[in-house]
Amino acid sequence: MSEVKALSLFSGGLDSILATRLVMAQGIQVTGIKFVSPFFHYEILDDIPGYQDEAREKYGIEVVVRDISEEYLEMLRKPTYGFGKNFNPCVDCKIFMVSRAKEMLKEFGASFLISGEVLGQRPMSQRRDTLNVISRDSESRSILLRPLSAKLMTPTLAEEQGLVDREKLLRFSGRGRSQQIALAAEFGIKDYPAPAGGCILADPNLSRRIKNFYDDNFVVRAADMTVTDILLLLVGRQFQLPGGGWLILGRDMKDNDKLTSWAEQGDALLRMPERPGPTALLRRAASCYGSEELRQADLEYAARLVVRYGRQVDGGRPPGDVSLRLGGENKSIQAETIEDTEFMDWML
């Protein structure tokens, strides 16, 4: 193996796997960089060693995981190149990731970057002019190698200096996947993810929720948004209550556990101890209301929704005691259920 090292932007998709392996096949030491944020692959943070083992076993690739959540939220507030079909700022996202990976070169003693992009594969982010913009704006033009389409592109420094043999790189282009599938078979890679999975910003339904946030139509302003806000936005049933409060109800035990563990100082947490049912989190309940009356009214609605979604008793939903924790204080609210017609318009 040579002393040459490279970093690969490892999305975990087939193209990034193949681009990495193609360069590794030249004896170059490549480390895959897996970026995670609440919008993509955040669950990896629960078991980083497990993810690394899987990448090693399935693809023979060593991967390092980096959480870029905070900076990514910042970028998402105003992407220079706008959004794709949904709320996906793909061009800015790639510029951002390439820039971050470039900053890591020194840490890993690596000479260049690898990306699995294929010329013409995606309408927005993989056109030739867009690939040029990504290289230019991340200031990586000379060090960003795209091995799968390299022969259709201007040589990078790594090729010119002979660190990489350009003759062994490829000229893939377009949307077809057959060449990639054939190459995967050559490398003995059988089990790889379906294309274009895993990014919530490209999902029509979830991205609509997130967009609502960023349009500043919401109780939480884009400028104040935190990673926890995004995580909360992606679980359970979501409501905007008449007083303006943002309520999240767990759909199952898993959601309930998440809400309990993500609740922060100033959030209200409600549940009905006497019956199985949802945990509810009223976000920023301590600070987001203009008056005590509005806060109390929304807490009441929240308690009624907890009863509404709680388990039925003898085919009905009798009133129940809902426990409320807010600002270190605990109390109990006697609440009746609420008719569906009354809250349908509150659902996000």
Q: At what angle are helices 14-24 and 178-186 packed, to 10 degrees? A: 50
94 binds ligand SF4 (CB under 6 A): yes
Q: Which residues of 61-97 are buried (b: 16+ CB within 10 A; e: fewer)?
A: bbbbbebebeebbebbeebebebbebbbbbbbbbbbb
Q: How far is the CB of 88 from ligand SF4 (least distance, A)?
A: 4
Burial bucket for residue 125 (CB in 10 Å: 0-12, 13-18, 19+): buried
Please report, as residue ranges, which positions from 179 to 218 form the binding site for ligand SF4 (by CB under 6 A): 199, 201-202
Is 90 a binder of ligand SF4 (CB under 6 A)?
A: yes
Count the residues in the chain.
348
Q: Quick check: helix, strand or coil at residue 52?
A: helix
Q: Which residue has the tokens 């890993």?
A: 108
Binding mask 297-326 for ligand SF4 (x = CB under 6 A): ------------------------------
Residue span 2-41 as binding mask against ligand SF4, x where in contact by CB under 6 A, dash where not: --------------------------------------x-
Which position among 16, 31, 69, 88 is part of the footprint of ligand SF4 (CB under 6 A)?
A: 88
Q: How many CB atoms lie within 10 A of CB 260?
A: 14
Q: Which is nearer to ligand SF4, 93 or 210 (CB)?
A: 93
Which CB sits closer to ligand SF4, 213 or 301? 213
> Closest CB to ligand SF4 among 37 and 52?
37
177: left (phi over 0), alpha (psi -120 to 50) or beta: alpha
Query: Residue holding tokens 């005590």?
Result: 292
Interface residue with ligand SF4, options 6, 93, 163, 232 (CB under 6 A): 93
Smallest gap from residue 336 Cβ to ligand SF4 (A): 43
Q: Under the rule (CB under 6 A), what is the footprint of ligand SF4? A: 40, 88-90, 93-94, 125, 199, 201-202
